[in-house]
Amino acid sequence: MTSFKIGNRLIGADAPPFIIAEMSGNHNQSLDMALQIVEAAAKAGAHALKLQTYTAETMTLDLSEGEFFIKDPNSLWAGTSLYALYEKAHTPWEWHAPIFARAKELGMLAFSTPFDDSAVDFLESLDVPAYKIASFENTDLPLIRRVAATGKPLIISTGMASIAELDETVRAAREAGCKDLVLLKCTSTYPATPANSNVRTIPHLRELFGCQVGLSDHSMGVGVSVAAVALGATVVEKHFTLDRAAGGVDASFSLEPAELASLVVETERAWQAMGQVHYGVTEAERKSLVYRRSLYVTQDMVAGEPFTTANLRAIRPGLGLAPKHAETLLGRRARHAITRGTPLDWSLVE
């Protein structure tokens, strides 16, 4: 797949995975907390800080009955209306500039997920380096075309989309001008379980659509993300909070600072470990050859004495003949006297 850059970061198989810390609504409507989240994400080593750009009005209707009210007792947000949830979770638009500025000061890229055209226009005014489309919006083709028309890199979460729907989405993005595309495998449950993460989809996405691939990970811990990188993910997105116990709309499935630091380290280790198909001795292993087993004389021998299982053994270190020659040597004779602890070579054999 063709690599490309988001800001100064290379996205592709030849670069460490691009780690995005998603703030979402974990700021609890406090700009001070939002800035603390930015600082903690930078300290943990995240490469990018991401927001979500919407208002309750651009997301839904101010209704509190029927499908506009969350009744599912297993939902993290049960007992509230969609409108009230988005009022609580949204990031005030006037906060974007100071949040992005702080992220940039600390060496991170900063961008967002827009949910309508007005959000795209606003984010363009801030000159964001990329865009993300959320999994629930990946079938909103007019929105995708609007974002793609900016010509900036586009990251799209797959969520519940079928292959046919993803094909429509990718075609719409590319036809509207998107050249740099990332598809993120995403399980649209909050939290997601490892068993429902299905990260084997990641290389299949790459084969189907010929683009960079990654993971939007709603599971707990870092294991699923590490597995995704081993399967070719070049981008990993995780929700991030200062402290799950402090609450926040998405805090319960967000990483804390030490966990985010672990994610950065362990996904890069997984990327480094991928390497290539290789057999035989690597340069790093060459000095370890001496610790292989080889044939040594284990008793003092006189000239003409036959080699037996009593005076010839395969032991460490590896300076003698390979153990595969043992059967050939048994019964043959010593060319001259040999002292115990001598590595055997053919010059010692009649």
The arithmetic mean of pLDDT across residues 160-177, rounded, is 99
As a whole number of angstroms, the distance between CA 34 and CA 240 comes to 11
pLDDT digits (tens, 9 = 90+) for 70-111: 888 877 778 888 898 888 889 999 999 999 999 999 999 999
CA dist 146 to 12, 113, 124, 139, 189, Å? 25, 13, 11, 13, 27
pLDDT digits (tens, 9 = 90+) for 193-251: 999 999 999 999 999 999 999 999 999 999 999 999 999 999 999 999 999 988 877 88
Where do the domains of the chain lie? Answer: 9-54+90-274, 283-348
**pLDDT number for residue 89:** 83
Q: Is the pLDDT of residue 1 over 80?
A: no
DSSP β-ladder status, 9-11 and 4-6 = antiparallel
As a whole number of angstroms, the distance between CA 285 and CA 37 comes to 43
**pLDDT number for residue 74:** 77
As a whole number of angstroms, the distance between CA 95 and CA 345 comes to 76
As a whole number of angstroms, the distance between CA 180 and CA 149 comes to 12
User: Which option is the CATH number for 283-348: 3.20.20.70, 3.40.1710.10, 3.90.1210.10, 1.10.1380.10?
Assistant: 3.90.1210.10
DSSP β-ladder status, 131-133 and 154-157 = parallel
**CATH assignment, 9-54+90-274:** 3.20.20.70
Which of 37, 48, 46, 42 is CA-nearest to residue 7?
48
Per cent of the chain over pLDDT 90 is: 89
Count of CB atoms situated within 10 Å of the CB of 323: 15
pLDDT digits (tens, 9 = 90+) for 28-69: 999 999 999 999 999 999 999 999 999 999 999 999 889 999
Count of CB atoms situated within 10 Å of the CB of 79: 11
Q: What is the CA radius of gyration of the chain?
A: 30
Q: What is the DSSP letter of 129?
A: S
In three-state secondary structure terms, 19 is strand
